[in-house]
Structure 1
């Protein structure tokens, strides 16, 4: 968990650079709130205080990076409480939750406070996000298409930690080099999403530039490397990781291309989390020398 916090530093620093002190305040408050809420819950439930494992801090940071800088701090703290108490602690704590706490809280906030979670207007960025422009519609009508370089570097509107694909990749390389995460899930996720976009994107079939913009835009990179790879809510079998990544890529493509919202990563990963027990069941390696059940009978 400490390595994950370290790997998220580039995205966090760029988020503060891109959106100002409001982003820094939300990052600090969200981390502090998650740690405090977990400690208070465990104290009153007469459980061992486990905030020293840094999992609550990771949840707080990830949730802060997944919300707009304009989200009221009170709403963010409500999301922190939902992530820690409802998604994590009520299911038994770290290792028992069936979905990623930060993403569960992000979806809860999106459903509960849709207006605030969809407001990305700041002093620096007054228009819609690049994904909203790519998707089109009345909000994006007449606006210039986003530049791929700006989307890669992060000089765009969006949530605090998702805009810079470069910053996210720097952190991802750190995790891969230290072997904290396996490349199977993120590679399968991004590759299957890319293929889906090339084949099925309405009006943009085999448009490689459009595909690259979709990869760099929104929460795909952050989700692929930092949330889809969550040890607790992702498969442990090698083939299961690949299947899981492919499912996430297809679901994200479906939500983005044919859904009402321009994004889709959070809901795709949560749906994928629900399928993990089934994925693991059908991808468990056969023991060496073991005969198939029918043959054994």
Structure 2
């Protein structure tokens, strides 16, 4: 498959969650999606024009970056902040390091974390049905109130535009796995590791309902299947992908249960991206016919 085809498949897989996000939050969510995608595409075209490089917008990677960033934004975010996020994703995280294939972290998540630091108030303001309130994860963490698991699975809750419907995200995930666009190791090991961490250290004991709420709430499904599996910022070796998934699950558990924030997926993926070179160094299989060099010289 070409890069263009892979990007188009991932965009197609995100359509159920995107359409539901617009249905769930209204037309302003669609406006944020469109303006963020327009920003990332125009930014990449402009960077290539200024630096006299070949136009790379035709590979659809900028479109995917814009869509993923938009799906990670609150549906009430001011539009100019979404534009700033798109500019940061392309100029700072992607193109400055050499473009697609050279970036050391996921551009969409890098931009989201930048926006969380720069506009913390707007990035943590969530509205649903015209009312602003805490997300289900925040309610669970505070212990003040109850949540509805079925609503969390279907997506009729507050949150970012694309993370609320576990059902829609799983439909897209099954499509990507069936088309062999992504490897099952990273997302499944990630979710399995987080599940074990949550049951052992989540301070709720062996509570499967609590675990289901933690998985259906927040960005674990979106992050596990659509961002942690990014070709550029994830390991290429099978064992490396397993180790990567374990690290992701541990980081997410630490941030969620021992940090001040109820989420943690974005920071977990970015930190794990930084560890990919070490993970690959430790897990690259030895070529046939070679042996490890022992102290004192080759054996």
Shared topology, TM-score over 0.5? yes
Instruction: Indicate the residue corresponding to 2:230 in structure 1.
Output: 230
Does structure 1 retain, via aligned residues, the 8 Å contact 2:235–2:276?
yes
Instruction: Indicate the residue corresponding to 1:114 in structure 2.
Output: 120
**1:122 offset after TM fit, Å?**
4.1
| Residue 254 (1) aligns with residue 254 (2) | yes
- Secondary structure of residue in 1 paired with 2:102: coil
Paired residues for 1:82-161 under 5 Å: 82-136=88-142, 141=144, 143=145, 145-161=146-162
Write the distance in 1 (CA, Å) between the matches of 2:270 and 2:200. 24
Per-residue CA deviation, residues 73-114 of structure 1 (Å, 9 max, x unaligned), is 000000000000000000000000000000000000000000
Instruction: Indicate the residue corresponding to 1:190 in structure 2.
Output: 191
Write the distance in 2 (CA, Å) between the matches of 1:102 and 1:240. 23
Does structure 2 retain, via aligned residues, the 8 Å contact 1:125–1:156?
no
Provide runs of 4+ in structure 1 moved above 6 Å: none
Write the distance in 1 (CA, Å) between the matches of 2:72 and 2:132. 19
In the superposition, the TM-score normalised over structure 1's length comes to: 0.96
Write the distance in 2 (CA, Å) between the matches of 1:281 and 1:271. 17
CA RMSD in angstroms, aligned pairs only: 1.0
Change over 3 Å in CA distance of 1:85–1:159 after alignment to 2:
same
Does structure 1 retain, via aligned residues, the 8 Å contact 2:169–2:222?
yes
Write the distance in 2 (CA, Å) between the matches of 1:250 and 1:148. 23
**1:57 offset after TM fit, Å?**
0.2
**1:286 offset after TM fit, Å?**
1.5
Write the distance in 2 (CA, Å) between the matches of 1:124 and 1:172. 30
Instruction: Indicate the residue corresponding to 1:215 in structure 2.
Output: 215
Does structure 1 retain, via aligned residues, the 8 Å contact 2:125–2:132?
no
Unaligned regions of 5+ residues in structure 1, if any?
none
Write the distance in 2 (CA, Å) between the matches of 1:59 and 1:291. 42
Write the distance in 2 (CA, Å) between the matches of 1:231 and 1:268. 17
**1:127 offset after TM fit, Å?**
2.4
Does structure 2 retain, via aligned residues, the 8 Å contact 1:125–1:157?
no
Pick from 37, 43, 51 the counterpart of residue 45 of structure 1.
51
Unaligned regions of 5+ residues in structure 2, if any?
1-6
Write the distance in 1 (CA, Å) between the matches of 2:163 and 2:131. 15
